[in-house]
Amino acid sequence: MGLFDIFKTPEEARPKADKLVVPGEEVEELDDTELEEPDFDDSKCAPADRAERGPFDSEEATLEGPMVDLGSLRIPAREGMGLRLEVEEKTKRLVAVALDYRESTVQVQAFASPRSTGLWNRIRVQLAEQVEQQGGTARELETDLGIELETRLPLMAGAPNGAYRAARFIGVDGPRWFLRAVLSGKALHDEDAAREVEELFRSIIVVRGDRPIPPRDLLPIQIPEAMAQQLGK
């Protein structure tokens, strides 16, 4: 697989951190008014060693070597990694980055967040509710990356009875940003693959910038220079 592939995703006017997106599947989105507003802890949720081991803020990162610069995201290039950019159908806006690595896929999005409070504790509850309302299951897992959400969603109509798509949702609250990942593939059931993909996730650098952006709004993703040259942009 080449370094850059572009494929389209279901259209969404303003991508939000609490919208349910699973790589490779078109998932029905629920109206926010259908979701309950439970009490939640608004403290930041992140690994205790995040600043040392990642995911990093651009002001913390000391990583060396070639990087793929995507604007709000910088990802160290590594052998065997495929990178795909997910594009909104109508506006052609880049809305997510999918990294294919070790027979797994990690879909990554960075969002604006408040300086002193976090988003993941609340968003995790809302994502779980969306999964359950669509006939799936969701349970929380305690991992080195914090509290994750393990989900199973029924496949679309026509699939064998009982067939489902599994995914893990990972969320990390950083300084004025929230990084969300959806993990699928081999890493869901293979410890070695999971460890390698989690290390890849931890190597990501988030560039928040100084521009005012409402909390939960997607941070802008840009086409890398090498790709822009290929496309003649």
- pTM value is 0.82
pLDDT of amino acid 111: 96
Task: Give the distance from CA 164 to its chain's centroid.
Answer: 20
Instruction: State mean pLDDT over 109-125.
Output: 94
Total number of domains in the chain: 1
Lowest mean pLDDT among 7-11, 42-46, 70-74, 151-155: 7-11
| Buried-exposed string 164-197: b where 16+ CB fall within 10 A, e elsewhere | ebbbbbbbbbbbbbbbbbbbbbbbeeeeebbebb
Phi, psi of 17 (to 5 degrees): -70, -20
Residue 33, pLDDT > 90, answer no
Phi, psi of 146 (to 5 degrees): 110, -150
> What would the pLDDT profile of 127-160 be if each residue is shown by its tens digit?
999 999 989 999 999 999 999 999 999 876 555 6
> Domain containing 150: what range?
4-231
> What would the pLDDT profile of 187-217 be if each residue is shown by its tens digit?
999 999 999 999 999 999 999 999 999 999 9
pLDDT band at 65 (very low <50, low <70, confident <90, very high): confident
| Residue whose C-alpha is closest to residue 124's, from 112, 110, 141 | 141
Beta carbons of 111 and 17 less than 8 angstroms apart: yes
Instruction: State mean pLDDT over 84-111.
Output: 92
Task: Using a pLDDT cut of 90, give the percent of the chain over it.
Answer: 66
